[in-house]
Structure 1
Amino acid sequence: MALDPDDPRPPYVQVANSLRAAILTRKFEPGEKLPSGPQLAKTYGVARMTVQQAVRTLREEGLVVSRQGSGVFVRERTSRPVGLRPHIERCFEEEAVTIDFAGFGGETLHGALQEPLDKVRHGRLTPQRIHIRLLVPDTTQPMTVPRRVDLSGDDPEARKRMARIMMRHTQGIEDAVHELGMLGLVEKATVETRVHAAIPQFKLYILNSAETFFGYYPVAPNTVLLGKEKAEIYDLLGRDTVLFHQAKDEDPESTGSQYVAQSQMWFDSVWSTIAKDREE
């Protein structure tokens, strides 16, 4: 794959074009890690600086993302939902795991945590510290969503249903993570849950302060059981939400780095000001 010496374009442009073609023809799949800088330099017969310039070009085009300490990866396509689960499992390969979640009930997070937590139990993943923060709505306060479609204000029954769903998943996360600490499989395992008086319009995941996943909750009619009767409510439907992925890289001014930093800033600001510990 040596470059054409008769090509008048700069070497970094030729390398970028070759890698771009490999990505667009799926020789490198979305989410796949590219060869390392030294490997690419050897493959193309160029200096490592040339490879770095080529990768920077592809990063600016949104085709690749650099992850600190991990390498360069083909960016997940935003035209389809990004798989949260493998990124969470990769998060658990680190010595210290931090996950911040803001949203409705944590159902997706609860499901995505099951496999990595099982691998910790079986010694296949060995983080030493796990810290998860859950920022969810205060269901003791009046809300306009969820509510029955024939109501115009707060619906206590729909709110109680929301509270049960939220409790099931947040408590499930707390129990599973705390169990690892009780068994001595990790040095420290903590889960904190705080509530705030706002209707969640989106879900946000921040993994190890290095990656974010963001998606909107659509409000749509949904037939559910309220008490013992079927009712049609306007509900927050997040299971099939498309998640948009951003990751921090070595350039603090890049879109990914700034998006992660601003997401962390927003989460920390809500957590430390208007959020309060959930009352059991």
Structure 2
Amino acid sequence: MGRRLHDYRERIESGVTRVLLLGIFATGLVAQFVKPVGDALQDKAFLGGALLSLVGYVLYDAVRELSGTLQTAPVAVAVNSSDLGRHVREAFSGREEVGICFLGYTGETLFLELKHRLERLLREPGPTRKVTISILVPDFSVPMAVPARVGPAGVPVDDPEFRRRLELKCQDFEQQLSGLQARLGAAGRVHVLCQYRQYQGIPRDKICIFNGELVFHGLYDVTARQRHQGQDRQDRELYDPEGYGTDLTVWSRKDGTETTRVAIDTWVKHFQGLWLLAAQPSWRVPPPPA
């Protein structure tokens, strides 16, 4: 309703402006050739003023057309990964069904927020009755260029020990979420399905999809270096992307533009394809029997 009133008001203002410009043009033109009118207005530059108003009329239409084009074009919005918590809370707010998809590195930032929301559902389920969480992480069981140790001249050297550490981290996240899934199921309040799968390759993209309506996409800095201590107590430099500080571009169906709708549908389809091709990790805890 508000949008229609806004459009209606704009059409009225546009019509009034056009009438005024055409009125100035007509008055100036008459004043140039009808002497009594010209004497009454006491202006010697009627034709110039009339032509100027006509040019203004033409330019007004052109500017309005350009403005309309710019207003309907989707505006890319960027947020930081640290802002995901607010969007996770909004994804659960007032909804009976919640769907969250993630593709990235370890998903630690998202995991913490999901853990807090599921714990809250144990106390205050509200309207939420079904939660589906799909998480895609790299297959850390195979040699990788990222993460890897920084070798001579910056050449990545596979580091099985560090890969194993990340694999155990993902396993721990999955076990904690599966535990909450079982507790919520036993309480009979909310049905939760949390699944982990693995993709092949380095962690390049970070994708979050909330309820098929909100899409976040960013690129990890794959050459980011961190220092970690190994089991031998020695520090070593590793290629280890920092997910928490990754900037994300946002697409929201609330924009209401066709371009945004197509972009979101494309990302959703892309994730579904990757999910279909991904393998279940060997460490994944089987879901409890229904």
The Cα shift of 1:101 comes to 0.7
TM-score after normalising by structure 1? 0.69
Q: Which residue of 2 aligns with 1:202?
A: 205
Residues of 2 paired with 1:250 and 1:243: CA distance?
17
The Cα shift of 1:211 comes to 0.7
Q: Is the contact between residue 134 and residue 192 of structure 1 (CA under 8 Å) also seen in structure 2?
A: yes
Q: Tell me whether 1:169 sits opposite 2:170 in the alignment.
A: no
Q: Which residue of 1 aligns with 2:249?
A: 244
Residues of 1 paired with 2:122 and 2:217: CA distance?
29
Q: Which runs of 5+ in 2 are unaligned?
A: 18-66, 284-290
Q: Which residue of 2 aligns with 1:109?
A: 110
> CA RMSD for the aligned pairs?
3.0
Q: Is the contact between residue 82 and residue 243 of structure 1 (CA under 8 Å) also seen in structure 2?
A: no
Describe the superposition over 1:147-179 as per-residue Cα deviations: whole angstroms up to 9, x where unpaired: 111263322122112212222223333323332
Q: Tell me whether 1:192 sits opposite 2:195 in the alignment.
A: yes
Q: Which residue of 2 aligns with 1:88?
A: 88
Q: Tell me whether 1:235 sits opposite 2:276 in the alignment.
A: no
Q: Is the contact between residue 88 and residue 112 of structure 1 (CA under 8 Å) also seen in structure 2?
A: yes
Give the percent of matched residue pairs that are identical in Structure 1 and Structure 2: 25
Name which of 55, 73, 77 aligns with 1:60. 73
What SS is found at the alignment partner of 2:101? strand
Residues of 2 paired with 1:177 and 1:59: CA distance?
42
Q: Which residue of 2 aligns with 1:179?
A: 183
Change (3 A) 1:268 1:175: same
Q: Which runs of 5+ in 1 are unaligned?
A: 14-53, 63-74
Bigger Cα Rg: 2
Name which of 158, 161, 164 aligns with 1:160. 164
Name which of 251, 271, 280 aligns with 1:267. 271
Q: Tell me whether 1:214 sits opposite 2:227 in the alignment.
A: no
Q: Is the contact between residue 178 and residue 190 of structure 1 (CA under 8 Å) also seen in structure 2?
A: no
Stretch deviating more after TM superposition (168-177 or 133-142): 168-177
Residues of 2 paired with 1:236 and 1:102: CA distance?
14
What SS is found at the alignment partner of 1:87? helix
Change (3 A) 1:261 1:175: same
The Cα shift of 1:216 comes to 1.4
Change (3 A) 1:81 1:142: closer
The total of aligned residue pairs comes to: 220
Residues of 2 paired with 1:236 and 1:242: CA distance?
13
Runs of 4+ residues deviating >6 angstroms: 54-57
TM-score after normalising by structure 2? 0.67
